[in-house]
Structure 1
Amino acid sequence: MTGTDTHTGTEDPGTGGYAAARLRLLTEDARSGPPRRSALAGLTDDWLAGLFGAAAGPARGVSLVAVGGYGRGELSPRSDLDLVLLHDGSDPGAVAALADRIWYPVWDLGLSLDHSVRTPAEARATAAEDLKVQLGLLDARHLAGDTTLTAGLRTAVLTDWRNQAPRRLPELRELCAERAARQGELRYLLEPDLKEARGGLRDATALRAVAASWLADAPREGLADARRRLLDVRDALHLATGRATDRLALQEQDQVAAELGLLDADTLLRQVYEAARVIAYAADVTWREVGRVLRARAVRPRLRAMLGGGRPATERSPLAEGVVEQDGEVVLARAARPDRDPVLPLRAAAAAAQAGLPLSPHAARHLAATARQLPTPWPAEAREQLVTLLGSGRPTVEVWEALEAEGLIARLLPDWERVRCRPQRNAVHIWTVDRHLIETAVRASALTRRVGRPDLLLVAALLHDIGKGWPGDHSVAGEIIAKDVAARIGFDHADAAVLATLVRHHLLLIETATRRDLDDPATVRSVADAVGTQSTLELLHALTEADALATGPAAWSSWRGNLVTDLVRRVSGVLAGAAPDEPEPAAPTAEQERLAIEAFRTGGPVLALRAQTEPAPGADPPPGEPEPLGVELLIAVPDQPGVLPAVAGVLAVHRLTVRTAELRALRLPDDVDDDGTILLLDWRVAAEYGSLPQAARLRTDLVRALDGTLDITGRLAERDAAYPRRRGWTAPPPRVTVAPAASRHATVIEVRAQDAPGLLHRIGSALEKAGVRVRSMHVSTLGANAVDAFYVTTGTGAPLPEEDAGSLARVLEETLRA
Structure 2
Amino acid sequence: MKSAVRAAHLEQAADAPATSVDRIGRDFGVALASITDSWVIELFEAAVAANPTKHRVALLAVGGYGRGELAPHSDLDLLLVHNARPRKVAAEIEPIASALWYPIWDSGAKLGHAVRRVDEQLDLVDGDLDSATALLTARFLVGDEETAAEVTRRGRHSWESHRSTYLTALRARMTDRQAESADVAYHLEPDLKNGHGGLRDVQTVWWAMASGLDVIDQDLDDLDACYDTLLRARVATHLTTGRAGEVMRLEDQDAIAARGGWSDADALMADVAAAGRTVSWLCDETWNRAIDRDPQDDRAIAPGVVLHNGEIELTESADPRRDPTLALQAAVAAARNDCRIGRATLDRLHDEVEPWPGDWPVGARTELVALLLEGHRAIRVLESLDQRELLSRFLPEWEPVRSKPQRNAYHRFTVDRHLWEAAANAAQLVDRVGRPDLLVLGALFHDIGKGYPGDHTEVGMEMFRSIGPRLGLDPHDVGVIITMIEHHLLLSDVAMRRDISDEATIDLVAGLVGTVEKLELLDALTEADSKATGPSAWGSWKEQLVDELTSRTKHVLGGGQASEVKWRLFPDADTLAAMATGEVDISRNGDLITIVSPDAAGTFSQVAGVVTMHGLDVVTSRAYSDEQGMAASQFRVSSPTGEMNWRKVKSDLRKALRFELAIEARLAERAKTYRRRRKLQADTPGPPKVKFIEGGSSNATVIEIRAVSKIGILHRITQALDDMGLDIRHATVHTIGIEVVDTFYVRTRAGDLVNSTAHRKEIQKALLHAAR
Q: Is the pair's TM-score, using the shorter chain for normalization, greater than 0.5?
A: yes
**Partner residue of 1:5?**
none
1:260 aligns with 2:211: no
Partners of 1:210 and 1:217 within 8 A in 2: no
CA–CA separation in structure 2 for the residues paired with 1:16 and 1:747? 63
CA–CA separation in structure 2 for the residues paired with 1:111 and 1:703? 55
Provide, for residues 326-381 of structure 1, a one-character-per-residue CA deviation record: whole Å limited to 9, x for no partner.
22222222322223321111111111111222222332233112223336211231
Moved more, 418-427 or 376-385: 418-427
Q: Which has the larger radius of gyration?
A: 1
Change (3 A) 1:659 1:65: closer
- Corresponding residue to 2:75 among 77, 80, 93: 80
1:773 aligns with 2:727: yes
Change (3 A) 1:316 1:812: same
1:35 aligns with 2:27: yes
CA–CA separation in structure 1 for the residues paired with 2:540 and 2:69? 50
**Partner residue of 1:598?**
581
Moved more, 141-150 or 255-264: 141-150
Moved more, 145-154 or 94-103: 94-103
Moved more, 275-284 or 732-741: 732-741
Change (3 A) 1:244 1:594: closer
**Partner residue of 1:151?**
149
CA–CA separation in structure 1 for the residues paired with 2:244 and 2:313? 45
CA–CA separation in structure 2 for the residues paired with 1:108 and 1:703? 56
**Partner residue of 1:26?**
14
Question: Could you tell me how far 1:253 is from its partner in structure 2?
Answer: 1.8
1:787 aligns with 2:738: no
Q: Which has the higher contact order (CA 8 A, sep 6+)?
A: 2
**Partner residue of 2:510?**
528
Partners of 1:165 and 1:215 within 8 A in 2: no
CA–CA separation in structure 2 for the residues paired with 1:260 and 1:136? 28
Partners of 1:658 and 1:683 within 8 A in 2: no
Change (3 A) 1:262 1:522: same
1:707 aligns with 2:667: no
Partners of 2:58 and 2:144 within 8 A in 1: yes
Partners of 1:340 and 1:372 within 8 A in 2: no
- Corresponding residue to 1:420 among 402, 413, 421: 402
Provide, for residues 531-578 of structure 1, a one-character-per-residue CA deviation record: whole Å limited to 9, x for no partner.
222211111111111111222222222322222222223322333333
Partners of 1:270 and 1:422 within 8 A in 2: yes
CA–CA separation in structure 1 for the residues paired with 2:656 and 2:581? 20
| Matched residue SS, 1:222 | helix
Aligned pairs for 1:400-799 (under 5 A) are: 400-580=382-562, 595-596=578-579, 598-599=581-582, 605-607=583-585, 609=587, 633=594, 635-637=596-598, 639-652=599-612, 655=616, 657=618, 659-667=620-628, 678-681=629-632, 683=634, 685=636, 688=639, 689=642, 693=646, 698=650, 701-726=652-677, 732=685, 733-755=687-709, 758-799=712-753
CA–CA separation in structure 2 for the residues paired with 1:368 and 1:495? 31
Partners of 2:60 and 2:148 within 8 A in 1: yes
Change (3 A) 1:162 1:410: farther
Aligned pairs for 1:359-438 (under 5 A) are: 359-374=341-356, 376-438=358-420
Question: Could you tell me how far 1:439 is from its partner in structure 2?
Answer: 0.9
CA–CA separation in structure 2 for the residues paired with 1:780 and 1:584? 25
CA–CA separation in structure 1 for the residues paired with 2:56 and 2:653? 81
Partners of 2:125 and 2:158 within 8 A in 1: no
For 1:184, the aligned partner's letter is A
Question: Could you tell me how far 1:77 is from its partner in structure 2?
Answer: 3.2
Partners of 1:419 and 1:469 within 8 A in 2: yes
Provide, for residues 159-181 of structure 1, a one-character-per-residue CA deviation record: whole Å limited to 9, x for no partner.
32233233233333333344445
CA–CA separation in structure 2 for the residues paired with 1:610 and 1:97? 64
Change (3 A) 1:172 1:716: farther
Partners of 2:298 and 2:310 within 8 A in 1: no
| Matched residue SS, 2:627 | strand
**Partner residue of 1:238?**
238
Change (3 A) 1:767 1:597: same
CA–CA separation in structure 1 for the residues paired with 2:509 and 2:529? 18
CA–CA separation in structure 2 for the residues paired with 1:338 and 1:534? 41
Provide, for residues 570-606 of structure 1, a one-character-per-residue CA deviation record: whole Å limited to 9, x for no partner.
322333333545999999998667545532xxxxx42
| Matched residue SS, 1:750 | strand
Provide the TM-score with structure 1 as the length reference: 0.83
Question: Could you tell me how far 1:448 is from its partner in structure 2?
Answer: 0.9
Partners of 1:344 and 1:371 within 8 A in 2: no
CA–CA separation in structure 2 for the residues paired with 1:719 and 1:172? 51
**Partner residue of 1:288?**
288
Question: Could you tell me how far 1:459 is from its partner in structure 2?
Answer: 0.9
Question: Could you tell me how far 1:446 is from its partner in structure 2?
Answer: 0.8
**Partner residue of 1:358?**
340
Change (3 A) 1:210 1:443: same
Change (3 A) 1:456 1:63: same
CA–CA separation in structure 2 for the residues paired with 1:229 and 1:697? 50
| Matched residue SS, 1:351 | helix
- Corresponding residue to 2:197 among 186, 196, 199: 199
CA–CA separation in structure 2 for the residues paired with 1:58 and 1:344? 72
CA–CA separation in structure 1 for the residues paired with 2:644 and 2:669? 22
Partners of 1:58 and 1:145 within 8 A in 2: no
Provide, for residues 168-218 of structure 1, a one-character-per-residue CA deviation record: whole Å limited to 9, x for no partner.
333333333444455433333333332233322222211111111113437
Provide, for residues 601-638 of structure 1, a one-character-per-residue CA deviation record: whole Å limited to 9, x for no partner.
xxxx4226486xxxxxxxxxxxxxxxx8x75836141x
Moved more, 567-576 or 101-110: 101-110
Say how many residue pairs are matched. 750
Question: Could you tell me how far 1:50 is from its partner in structure 2?
Answer: 5.8
Partners of 2:181 and 2:194 within 8 A in 1: yes
For 2:64, the aligned partner's letter is G
CA–CA separation in structure 2 for the residues paired with 1:253 and 1:610? 40
Partners of 1:483 and 1:499 within 8 A in 2: no
Moved more, 458-467 or 425-434: 425-434
Provide the TM-score with structure 2 as the length reference: 0.88
For 2:660, the aligned partner's letter is T
Question: Could you tell me how far 1:126 is from its partner in structure 2?
Answer: 1.6
1:810 aligns with 2:738: no
Question: Could you tell me how far 1:660 is from its partner in structure 2?
Answer: 4.6
For 1:648, the aligned partner's letter is A
CA–CA separation in structure 2 for the residues paired with 1:16 and 1:598? 71
CA–CA separation in structure 2 for the residues paired with 1:229 and 1:274? 9
Question: Could you tell me how far 1:29 is from its partner in structure 2?
Answer: 4.0
CA–CA separation in structure 1 for the residues paired with 2:635 and 2:30? 61
**Partner residue of 2:229?**
229
Partners of 1:226 and 1:276 within 8 A in 2: yes
Question: Could you tell me how far 1:712 is from its partner in structure 2?
Answer: 2.8
CA–CA separation in structure 1 for the residues paired with 2:566 and 2:471? 49
Provide, for residues 207-237 of structure 1, a one-character-per-residue CA deviation record: whole Å limited to 9, x for no partner.
1111111134374362111110111112222
| Matched residue SS, 2:365 | helix
CA–CA separation in structure 2 for the residues paired with 1:589 and 1:140? 68
Change (3 A) 1:588 1:710: closer
CA–CA separation in structure 2 for the residues paired with 1:590 and 1:240? 55
For 1:126, the aligned partner's letter is L
**Partner residue of 2:207?**
209
